[in-house]
Copies of this chain bind each other. A is one copy, B any other.
């Protein structure tokens, strides 16, 4: 008798899901988790002090979208249970709500429906060659292994700085999840600036963030290669790996030679690598005060945040694959080539079409929101642009203006974080397209739920 209302809601929600396009389902899913997180975080029992309704909405959106921008200090504003909720929201957002529900289905029904495959495909833009089931299993296994190893690593690292007991255990788990999901939430009041020269901590964060952001496709692909299941890396994995290394190298070099702050550091190369890494993986931890960077390097970091990393991982941004497609279009035009290709491989028209649309929309949104924030805020343009690129790319780096934003400004950033997590094209399509709901409802009897 007790289960009836829950069953009713479940049944209603299933019918609701079926009536919407896969894209709209993603939007509703993220919205639902954000809403639940907001309602929980708004409860005073999870607070250490006074917190506004808007700040709770901001924190919840930032956590589910794995952005990490904060208007309040997390450790000083939320008690342990509040912090725990934030970590859960990060975990849900990071792996993706649809991956989790599909995982649930995988181990309860032993099969995945056509419909769920479509939804997953919409989120992760999978090449068709990789099987969904292996993919999901790899995601979960990999996440658990990495986060456990990361937490152990953090525990010993923090111990060297005199942190012990329950506090050390909690900080280790929280930051491991936050790093692997590229969320960038920190319990320290200045992110990881106090650990800027600690090679051990820098390494742990970098490994977790690169693994999480490079993406499950790349990791799966590399894993298959290592176990000898395939003889060659897929084209996508190659592009992402090479592109990531190239941009990371360029970013580190520019930072080292272009940023005066490195001269004051004992570990200038580590500092340069870490800030380039944090922007590209969109983890968003920082070891130097971003607000003190010179304009050239602030623009460089903005560019790295704009590009981001892999389309399959937890990172935001335009993605390296999109950048590759754009470079290919331009290259073939400028060199007068008949075919649009990269590294000798022809790129399908559909991919170019998606890449171009994403580029137009992503760039347009960045300009539009910089324009809108220039009305609501009185900060200089570089800081506003940085905040916009950081929130849409779900990076979470900030020059320090987040807490001082106006109410309108905070709402605009909330919209950007949410849009960035869902994906600009997916979000736009969900809102505007006459959904293929007819087709879906016809096939809905395939559903195993």
Task: Give chain A's interface residues, CB within 8 Å of chain B.
Answer: 258, 294-296, 299-300, 303, 326, 329-330, 333-336, 353-354, 356-357, 359-361, 363, 367, 370-371, 374-375, 380-382, 385, 425, 428-429, 431-434, 436
- Given contact pairs A299-B374, A333-B353, A381-B381, a sample of 14 additional A-B residue pairs in the complex whose CB atoms are under 8 Å apart: A300-B371, A303-B367, A329-B353, A329-B357, A330-B360, A330-B428, A333-B429, A334-B431, A336-B436, A380-B380, A380-B381, A380-B382, A381-B382, A381-B385
Rounded to whole angstroms, the CA-CA distance of A425 and B300 in the bound complex is 25
Main secondary structure of the interface of A (DSSP, over half): helix
**Minimum CB–CB distance for A294 against chain B, Å:** 8
Say whether, besides A333-B353, A360-B330, A374 and B295 are in contact (CB < 8 Å): yes
Asked if residues A296 and B374 are in contact (CB atoms below 8 Å), the reply is yes
**Copies of this chain in the oligomer:** 2
Which residues from chain B contact A360 at a C-beta distance below 8 Å?
A: 326, 329-330, 359
Rounded to whole angstroms, the CA-CA distance of A382 and B379 in the bound complex is 11
Which residues from chain B contact A433 at a C-beta distance below 8 Å?
A: 334-336
Rounded to whole angstroms, the CA-CA distance of A330 and B434 in the bound complex is 15
Most central of A295, A357, A380 by chain B CB within 10 Å: A295
Rounded to whole angstroms, the CA-CA distance of A258 and B374 in the bound complex is 11
Residue of B nearest to A429 (CB): B334
Rounded to whole angstroms, the CA-CA distance of A144 and B356 in the bound complex is 42
**Minimum CB–CB distance for A3 against chain B, Å:** 39
Residue of B nearest to A384 (CB): B295
Most central of A326, A429, A434 by chain B CB within 10 Å: A326
Rounded to whole angstroms, the CA-CA distance of A300 and B303 in the bound complex is 22
Which residues from chain B contact A425 at a C-beta distance below 8 Å?
A: 333-334
Asked if residues B303 and A334 are in contact (CB atoms below 8 Å), the reply is no
